[in-house]
Amino acid sequence: MNNFERNLRAIYARAYVRIAGTNRELSWIFFTVFLPLLGISAYIYVYKATADPEILNSLLTRVIIGGATLAFWMNVLWGMGNTFYWEKEQGNLDLFFMAPISRTSILLGMALGGMFSTTIRAIATIFLGAFIFKISFTLQSPLLLIVTFVLTMIALYGLGMLFASLFLMYGRGSWHVTNLLQEPIFLLSGFYFPIKFLGFHIAFIASIIPLSLGLDSMNQLIGGNFAQEWALMPLKIELLALGVLSVLFFYLAIKSLDYMENLAKKEGRLTLKYL
Amino acid sequence: MSIIKTFKSSAWLGWEMESNWANPFLFALYSIARPIAGIFLVVLMYWFIDAPEDLFALMFVGSVFYMYIFNVLFGVSWVIQEDREHYKVLKYIFMAPSNIYFYLLGRAFSKTIITTFAVLITLLFGALFLDVKIIFEKPLFFLLSFILGIIGIAAFGIIMAGISLLLVRHNFYIGESLAGVFYLFCGVIFPLSVLPSWGQSFSKLLPMTYWLEATRRSLLGFGDSSLNGITDLHIFRNLLMFGIGFLILSLISFKYCTDLAKKRGILDMTTWH
Amino acid sequence: MCGVYYYFFKLLIEFNAMPSIAIEIKNLIRYFETGKETVKALDGINLQIKTGELFGLLGSNGSGKTTLIKILCTLLYPTSGEAFVSGINVVKEPEKIRGKINMVAGEETSGYGILTVRENIWLFSQLYGIESRLAKKRIDELLELLGLTKRAHTRIHKISTGERQKMNLCRGLVTDPDVLFLDEPTVGVDVNSGRTIRDYLLKWMKNNRKTILLTTHNMVEAEEICDRVAIIDEGKILALDTPSNLKQMLKNETILELETDIIKNLSFKYKFSKVDNHEKKISNLRFFLKDESTISDIISELSKKGVKIKSLHKSESKLEDIFIQLVGKNINE
């Protein structure tokens, strides 16, 4: 069997664990689909309390799209980013790293497995949110929206793999640093407000986070005129940048995974628990 | 083993687990940066729409004190998952002569202390840089309602911890998810008058609504306008009732969940996937 | 007919293509920096293990056994020195080795509690690219051999420690590795199951020309099944030979075995080992004597210390005796 087939099997096997686990106890439907909607609703009510009615729909659209995308970001960060940490603590990391597969296939399997519940959460957020709060979407181009979403996800998952490499070397420290970065990334990604509000220069630097560009682009395609007024950059440029980020993060992730693995093996930290 | 000893040991453990991953300087930086970064999301939303000052102040205090709700609720329920799945010591804690209820209370206490640092830092930041006028005019009222509120939150966290004993470990955790209920219905970041009428009625059943209102009245001198008809005494009485009520409920529900977990043989199951 | 000949020659070629040396270690050193001190886990190990050999590594806790296995499994780099598995350098070309090896550790907690026994083994088989149908066939065979068929569909958080260890062994064997590393594999397993496991491993090894590197505290096990044994202590190999040759090291020594009342602490000028049997309330003492005339001295010293001797006889050397002679302590200390 060649390497490619073997890695495909590994992706499938690791995804299977996630999917089987998710489906063997369905409490997640309540806790991770419905309840997070409450948090998002809180942000909707912030705008309902204070925003100009003329721009309200656009702002609420932004919150709903942000909330849906948040599900994927949390999957990337906690479902994939810290995979190696939890696998190490559970005693599986040795076995994964001894097997003749690439590290990215373990991470991809984890990510794809998590996609199932994540996608349900995202769809529930959009439809329920739109239904409950009577939000209307001004969809310009469904195809372009799909392309934007896919590119954002690719770049995002690449970034997640980069985070994952840190966990090979730094256990709990990485966990805390990821926790620490979570809030600033929410801030700089424009989940609930346009990042252009931060000032062009800060927003431009923030656009290194795939979510910033992705959310900005998606809002341009679905949020109406107000969203377009507050767009950071023209859509085409943002899409191009997302394409570049996709490639860049995957490349960096592969390099970082190799580097961190070698470093961890050198320092004897690869299989050390409770770091 | 005495209750106090259990409480002290688990509080110490909670502190160690939160802090011993980094050198003191890095931990201090993390402790300051994280809460401020957390608050800024809503701050920027309010600045973006140019909200009035009083609304901003209400939101600010609400968000800051919500940290207790989130950290203690999530922290206590997470203890079960962590000790069961990660460190695999839960069965030993159950086997020990110490009372696991007080073990969880100890962990809640350490979470409260750590969160208090974050709250103080953020309040100071808000007062110095965000023009939030903290007047702190009812210290006794604040202290009593604060204590009752924390008791209620910790008790709720223990209820969630009990339920966690019966659930597998999925990505998003029960405590965190339920904290979202309070985030929406307790007027943390927006005035309650914006909620539909059924939402407003529901919010008046939640103790955290009164807790946040008491905090705002003490620190800002005013609270949510939809609660203007409720006196301080009424708030205090509600907090007392709910605090005691949740405490009793937590004892009953935790015992029930523990017995059920033992009956099903799932006290030490590992379900990471 | 042509197909049969083709298959036969293919097997012959593959068989002969296996290098004669499965594991080669050259002056392997590994340090660990713990901030306050430097620990030398391996201190210049030199070793060659032939293909088809069941090689035992005996050492007490912290002697370097697991560190050595981790290096050979490509999970750890040595500080200096080289190691080869099937002729491939473990540091320079680890990806070429991985398909040929597997490892099973004692009291391993790997796997996913929410999956069944069968699913867990299947999962790991997929990481080695084993086609699902073949994997399922192998899993069925292994589960039956190790008495786990009835538990095949049980989630692993519900199985016992011994059953979990058997499952781990299935996981290690399902990939049919050329070299299998077993790090105290029978810990937590009952006596009968331990015997079944050992018998199966011997058969599997001999029939397929596989190599096993086994670390164990169980001297009887090592003596019974290992072709050769190395005794390791503080990262150094103190002795390496067949069990019978190693026992010959004590051929010029007399081993005096005494049964006494239970002794809690005993310090003595002669080297000895002590095993307490609390059920029978006796201590078994074994003394290693170059000169039989010292027997009377030993008895006299014991009497002075108030030790009551219940029985006394001379016995043959065991592997455990060699270990104590070389290392100066019992393997379980």
More confidently predicted of A51 and C321: A51
Closest CB to C114: pick one of B265, B268, B273. Answer: B273
Closest to B60 measured CA to CA, from B43, B37, B82: B43
Mean pLDDT confidence for A37-46: 91
**Weakest-pLDDT range from B238-252, C83-97, C266-280:** C266-280
The phi and psi torsions of C254 (rounded to 5 degrees) equal -95, 135
- Distance (Å) from the alpha carbon of C268 to chain B's nearest alpha carbon: 40
Angle in degrees, 0-180, between the axes of helices B24-48 and B53-81, rounded to the nearest 10: 140
Q: B30–A176: do the CB atoms touch at under 8 Å? A: yes
Q: Where are the domains of chain A?
A: 3-267
Kindly list the partner chains of chain A, i.e. chains with 3 or more CB atom pairs below 8 Å: B, C
Residues from chain A contacting residue B271 (CB–CB below 8 Å): 21, 25
Pairing of strands C88-89, C254-261: unpaired
Residues from chain A contacting residue B184 (CB–CB below 8 Å): 38-39, 41-42, 45
Q: With respect to residue B91, please indicate whether it lies within any of the assigned structural domains.
A: yes
Note the pLDDT tens digit of each residue in B24-47.
Answer: 777 877 777 888 888 888 999 999
Residues from chain C contacting residue A270 (CB–CB below 8 Å): 75-76
Give pLDDT, residue A170: 79
Q: A5–C76: do the CB atoms touch at under 8 Å? A: no
Pairing of strands C254-261, C309-315: antiparallel
Residues from chain A contacting residue C76 (CB–CB below 8 Å): 265, 268, 270-271
Q: With respect to residue B200, please indicate whether it lies within any of the assigned structural domains.
A: yes
Alpha-carbon gap, residue A10 to A46, rounded angstroms: 45
Q: With respect to residue B166, please indicate whether it lies within any of the assigned structural domains.
A: yes
Q: With respect to residue B2, please indicate whether it lies within any of the assigned structural domains.
A: no
Note the pLDDT tens digit of each residue in C213-243.
Answer: 999 877 888 888 899 999 999 999 999 999 8
Give pLDDT, residue B199: 94
List of E strands, B63-118: none
Percentage of residues of chain A with pLDDT beyond 90: 56
Give pLDDT, residue B216: 95
- Distance (Å) from the alpha carbon of B135 to chain A's nearest alpha carbon: 25
**Weakest-pLDDT range from B55-64, C245-254, C306-315:** C245-254
Q: With respect to residue B136, please indicate whether it lies within any of the assigned structural domains.
A: yes
Residues from chain B contacting residue A122 (CB–CB below 8 Å): none
Give pLDDT, residue C333: 65
Closest CB to B189: pick one of A46, A117, A172. Answer: A46
More confidently predicted of C305 and B127: B127
Residues from chain A contacting residue C114 (CB–CB below 8 Å): 20-21, 24-25
Residues from chain A contacting residue B183 (CB–CB below 8 Å): 38-39, 42
Q: A42–B44: do the CB atoms touch at under 8 Å? A: no
Kindly list the partner chains of chain C, i.e. chains with 3 or more CB atom pairs below 8 Å: A, B
How many independent structural domains does chain B possess? 1
Q: With respect to residue B110, please indicate whether it lies within any of the assigned structural domains.
A: no
Alpha-carbon gap, residue B81 to A229, rounded angstroms: 46
Closest to A178 measured CA to CA, from A189, A191, A167, A192: A167
Q: Show the domain range for B149.
A: 16-97+116-264
Compare all CA atoms of chain A with the CA of B29 and give the residue at the minimum distance.
Answer: A180
Identify the band that residue C17 occupies on the pLDDT scale cut at 50, 70 and 90: low
By the CB < 8 Å criterion, does C15 face chain B? Answer: no
Q: With respect to residue B243, please indicate whether it lies within any of the assigned structural domains.
A: yes
Alpha-carbon gap, residue A215 to A192, rounded angstroms: 10
How many residues are recorded in chain A? 275
Q: How many other β-carbons are positioned within 10 Å of the β-carbon of residue B96?
A: 13
Note the pLDDT tens digit of each residue in A47-99.
Answer: 998 888 889 999 999 999 999 999 899 888 888 888 888 888 888 999 999 99
Identify the band that residue C16 occupies on the pLDDT scale cut at 50, 70 and 90: low
Give pLDDT, residue C250: 63
Residues of B near C (Cβ–Cβ under 8 Å) read 88, 168, 265-266, 268-273
Pairing of strands C88-89, C38-50: unpaired
- Distance (Å) from the alpha carbon of C72 to chain A's nearest alpha carbon: 10
Identify the band that residue A32 occupies on the pLDDT scale cut at 50, 70 and 90: confident
SS3 A118: helix
Note the pLDDT tens digit of each residue in A104-132.
Answer: 999 999 889 888 889 998 999 999 999 99
Compare all CA atoms of chain C with the CA of B272 and give the residue at the minimum distance.
Answer: C112
C205 DSSP 8-state letter: H
How many residues are recorded in chain C? 333
Whether C261 has a pLDDT exceeding 90, the answer reads no
Note the pLDDT tens digit of each residue in C174-200.
Answer: 999 999 999 988 777 788 878 888 888
Identify the band that residue C56 occupies on the pLDDT scale cut at 50, 70 and 90: very high
Are the C-beta atoms of A111 and A160 separated by less than 8 Å? yes
Give pLDDT, residue B171: 47
Residues from chain B contacting residue C109 (CB–CB below 8 Å): 88, 270
Residues 6+ apart with CB under 8 A from B212: B61, B62, B65, B66, B186, B187, B188
Pairing of strands C80-85, C21-33: antiparallel
Residues from chain B contacting residue C113 (CB–CB below 8 Å): 269-272
Are the C-beta atoms of C45 and C55 separated by less than 8 Å? no
Low-confidence ranges of chain B (pLDDT < 50): 171-172
Percentage of residues of chain C with pLDDT beyond 70: 92
Percentage of residues of chain A with pLDDT beyond 70: 99
Are the C-beta atoms of A41 and B185 separated by less than 8 Å? no
- Distance (Å) from the alpha carbon of B228 to chain A's nearest alpha carbon: 18
Mean pLDDT confidence for C3-12: 59
Q: Which of C73, C127, C132, C154 is the best residue to mutate to test the A interface, defined by the most A CB atoms within 10 Å of its own CB?
A: C127
Counting one residue from chain A and one from chain C, the pairs whose CB atoms sit within 8 A come to 87
User: What ipTM does this complex have?
Assistant: 0.87
